Amino acid sequence: MPGARAFEDARLLGTRPPVFGREAGARAWRECARELAADGARLVALWAGSASAGTGAEGSAGARTLYAAYLAARGVLLLELPLAAGARYPGLQDLYPFASRMQRAIADATGLQAIDEDTRPWLRHGPGPYAFVRVAGEGVHEIPVGPVHAGIIEPGHFRFSVVGEKVLRLEERLGYVHKGIEQRFEELALLDGQRLAARVSGDSGVAFSWAYCQALESMAGAEPPRRAAWLRALGLELERIANHLGDLGALGNDAGFAFGLAQFSRLKESLLRATAAALGQRYLLDLVVPGGVAVDPEPAPLAALDACVTAIAAEAEVLRDIYADHAGVRDRFAGTGMVSPELARQLGLTGLAGRASGQRYDLRVDLPVPPYDVLAVRPAASEEGDVAARVAVRFDELFESCRLVQAIVAALPPGAARTAVAVPPAGALGIGIVEGWRGPVLVALEAGAGGAIRRCHPHDPSWQNWPVLEHAVIGNIVPDFPLINKSFNLSYSGHDL
């Protein structure tokens, strides 16, 4: 079995999905990472655990445990590396290039330093210039964009090195909306933390709150009722549909086809209204709660939601044909923002963007939890890796999620929608992981004394995908950047914790 040696001596932490924990010294930390990378396992997240007594402030380099979560064939492997105060640890950036940014963020937040050539700050935006990588050569000039943008979006700085309008290099600088979410978690009770988790990145509220509750329930030994699991999946698929509808419209607009924006915005609005009627909120930030769901819908609004989704799927089929037949849209999408399958594998591209570049992994298929173990998700995939491929994957996932919503409504089990969850003992550790619409969303949770949160780390897949955007734009013209950027549609808030 791939990566089997890395799982040796691991202890089972949770079963939905299977999560194994293993403590490692510095040598084993690297050996396991090398073996897992060679076998195609995915690094999901890298973070520092809670500080030892007396070293709790952000930026302090007290004794801590470093964690790395990997997705492998057997499940999630959580490696733990205890570190003494002031110790440096072996970096993973040579095996997983995106890990360098996570390591820089850990250094800014905790003082723990990796052995990594790139020691520039990531979250800290203090005085003094930031050392962007310069591109030299005749005719090369730089275009700085942001961090404040003309549109109503969150701040991020993009430094283009160009010749004429052709992009030679893009370098991002994020972290402008670092807001201390992890510290805020530590002021909350374990049984209340899902509300903040849902707001880490508001367009992925169901994914984050479900992952949080997975972690909490695994620590408490709680099993949500079957009906609750199906209703959670209903919320997750509605969240996926809403985001794909919004993005498909915005992508049409960025290609100069405002008709697409108007039509998909109309469809998204109809979905949000039906969702609110059935489940109480347009955006389901408070649906998933410890032990189940907060709302058990009545049959009539569920039937109306089913009818709405059926109509959306039929109209989206027509709109897909319109996009495919429109010469201007085809010209803007095809061949733009290319990420080859090999580059996607090397850089760790994940989620829908990864599936558009030959990376077929989907937790709903590869590590399914109820009800996905019986829903038989048909994953979308493409090998082309351009904007057109990412649009095609969105359409395919939209139709599949509409089918899943219909299947869930038709087969929704009877019974309770929530069960009680006991407060886990202090020191307990839980991991939750859910396939959000962007990709795998992970929440790591440590229990404190008296039902408090000692540490919570939420991880958005944008951490993996932001660096790939820098490569996708190379060789394209500057005016195509908004289109390429929208085809990924990555989260600032989920990244800048």
For residue 62, what pLDDT is reported? 73
The secondary structure of 195-250 as a DSSP string is HHHTTSSGGGHHHHHHHHHHHHHHHHT----HHHHHHHHHHHHHHHHHHHHHHHHH
Q: Domain 5-115 sits in which CATH superfamily?
A: NADH:ubiquinone oxidoreductase Nqo5 subunit (3.30.460.80)
The secondary structure of 166-206 as a DSSP string is EEEEEEEE--TT---HHHHHTTSBGGGTHHHHTTSSGGGHH
Q: What is the mean pLDDT of the chain?
A: 94
- Cis ω for the linkage preceding 147 (within 30 of 0): yes
For residue 60, what pLDDT is reported? 57
Below-50 pLDDT ranges, the chain:
1, 54-56
- What backbone phi and psi angles, to 5 degrees, belong to 412? -60, 120
Burial of 298 per CB tally in 10 Å (0-12, 13-18, 19+): exposed
For residue 16, what pLDDT is reported? 87
Alpha carbons 495 and 178: distance in angstroms, whole number: 8
For residue 54, what pLDDT is reported? 46
Domain spanning 205-456, CATH class: mainly alpha
For residue 55, what pLDDT is reported? 46
Range(s) of the chain covered by CATH 1.10.645.10: 205-456
For residue 42, what pLDDT is reported? 96
Range(s) of the chain covered by CATH 3.30.460.80: 5-115
**Digit-coded pLDDT (tens) for 164-221:** 999 999 999 999 988 899 999 999 999 999 999 999 999 999 999 999 999 999 999 9
Q: How far is CA 325 from CA 118, 259, 318, in A?
A: 46, 14, 11
Cβ atoms of 443 and 458 within 8 Å: the answer is: yes
- Between vectors from CA 494 to CA 71 and to CA 210, what angle results, nearest 5°? 60
Question: 361: which DSSP letter?
Answer: -
